[in-house]
Structure 1
Amino acid sequence: MCKADAIWPARLRRVVRAALRHWGWPDLVETAELLLSELATNALRYGNGNDVGVRLYLSGGKFVMEVRDGSSQRPVLRHAAHTEKNGRGLFLVDAMADAWGVSEDGTRTWCSLSLRPAPGDVMQPTAVSAPVTREWSTSLPPTANSVRLACVDTRTRLTQLQWNGNIHGASEIVRRLMANALEQGVDDHGQDLRLRLAITETGELLTEVSDANPSFPGVSADEGRRGRGLWEVRQLGAHVTWYMLPGGGKTVQARVKAGEVPV
């Protein structure tokens, strides 16, 4: 694949990101970016048509991504060896998409994601919570060591703030929020991450991690894996929401009640 073609997967990730946010399905962005990158890269690398076309649309409760390469040679799902750098594109599509296929003439490859969000699972702007009675915050550099320091600080501060909840579980939520921000939220300037712990008058713990990137970027096509940080936070019983910062950037908030975080 030539240098001129190599820039298109990144451009298409921005396109699918904007489309899903416009249509109100931001929870699908990470997966859709990776899937479209793989389909486009496969078409650019192996297609022999004159151009490559991309179509994104909603149909029958599904979000569909379609890539046309003009080649009648049908793509083949294969399992690449561990030593091979390429060849995993359709394997990832098969693993992550709800469905995928090839047109009868072989010129178009498509995949789809179902529009079936679980209740409370879609990232929505943060709702107003009960008044905060106790809180603590700090800024940390965007380094891997800051994740460990944030966990230690969380256990110490929640003990001092006398939160009547699972402090170990809350520390795990902080670890995953910080790791997610470090992986996907740090911009080119390397600005600090901000951690805030707040306890409301109803006993809820609000854990907030802020970073300078206003978007939720996906995982690049060559990483071969899915960003799972926020999904894992939800699996710990937290209600995950977000809000934009006035000066730029975003805050991701995880809200849990005392006793709701599993050990």
Structure 2
Amino acid sequence: MEITTTDLGLAARVQQLTKTYGSGDSAVHALAGVSVGIRRSEFTAIMGPSGSGKSTLMHVMAGLDAPTSGRAWIGDTDITGLSDLELTILRRRRVGFVFQSFNLVPTLTALGNILLPFDLDGRRPSALERARIDGLVDTLGLAPRLGHRPHELSGGQQQRVAIARALATGPDLVFADEPTGNLDSRSGREVLSLLATASREHGQSIAMVTHDPLAASHADRVLFLGDGRIVADKPRQSAEEISAYMLAAELGAAQTGAAA
């Protein structure tokens, strides 16, 4: 009998995942046989040096990119063989995204951006969803800014709109790609606190790609990637512990390279 992702308590997982760009001598192996799961109601940080495969892993897990080989599931849905249309509908209904560049629609107001997932799905929010949106707007301090377009908002406000949009439909799973990368430290802390609250109080599973040890210290679990493989899987770490681990890993890689 096949073990399902739900049986394992996972919101998403990948099995023997590989991703190769190019071919022959110029081939780049971004992922090399990765098997890992994102646990339900947990905030997971995915870390690693530039080129380690962390963004590629997130994009394949989210169905934004196809693997070269291996399988990926969101919940119990094997997304590996889905068509583009099936993937689009699945992501729209079950996954939220927060990007470093905010990805807001410039012609829409803040409220229009928050409601965009419902518009794309051709429906209005239910009473429960409307209450959730009102709660998010209140928590995020966005009420006075709902009629403003993105260019009228600060970076922190734009990212808060993006988070409200990502959480508006109550998705099981939220992927965040360097969500604090373009923010000042105070706005960054607010964003991380919101993601942690979504996981702790609302049972949502958060997977966040980051290079920032301080950001990763907000997570319940930290996955470290190196050369397309998971090299460590650690419970909650302090920023100092994460920095020390990454420094040791970089020094080890440098020494290995020097010895080769």
Please give the TM-score of this superposition, normalised by the length of structure 2. 0.28
Higher helix share: 2
Please give the TM-score of this superposition, normalised by the length of structure 1. 0.28
> Which of these two proteins has the greater Rg computed from alpha carbons?
1
